[in-house]
Structure 1
Amino acid sequence: MCMENNYMSNSLAYNEYLTRFELLSSGDIETIINLGPAIKFNGGGHINHTIFWQNLSANGGKPSDELTKAAEK
C-alpha cells in the first residue's frame, strides 16, 4: 500500500507537472526561464523515482547475505 501511494502521489505528479510546464512554455523563453525552479524540482523527482522503481527487486526478493549483514550492523 505504501509503494502504491508513493507511485500514485509522487511519480505520477512529477510527470503531470512536467507535461503542464511543457504546455505552459509553448516556446516562450521567458516563461521557460521562470519555470526553471519548478522544472528542476519535478524533473529531479521524476528522475529519482524512475531510478527507485527500476532498482526494486521483482516480486520482492531477498537481499544478498552481504547486504543483510551490512544492514544489521
Structure 2
Amino acid sequence: MSEKVAITIELEPELLKEFKRFSDAKHQSPEEAVRELMREFINKRRKTARQTAEAICSDSKGYTLGGISIRELRDEGRR
C-alpha cells in the first residue's frame, strides 16, 4: 500500500527544467520519476553492500568485528 509523503527540496532551476523535460518526454509523472530514482538508488546501495559482504567473506583472513574474526562469525552463522 502506498503512503503519501510530501518532500520539499531545493533544486537549481536548470536541473528542475531538465528533470521535467525528460519525465515529460517519457510520459512519466514527476512522482513516478522520483520513485524510479529512489528504487535505482536503493538497488545500487544493496548491490554495493552485497559485493562488500562477499569480498569480506571471501577474503576474511585478518578482519575482525568486536575482536572476533569474520571467518569465525561467518562459520558460526552456518551452524
Q: Which TM class, normalised by the smaller chain length?
A: 0.3 to 0.5
Write 1 or 2 for the structure with the bigger share of helix: 1
Q: Which has the higher contact order (CA 8 A, sep 6+)?
A: 1
Mark the structure with the bigger radius of gyration: 2
TM-score by length of 1: 0.42
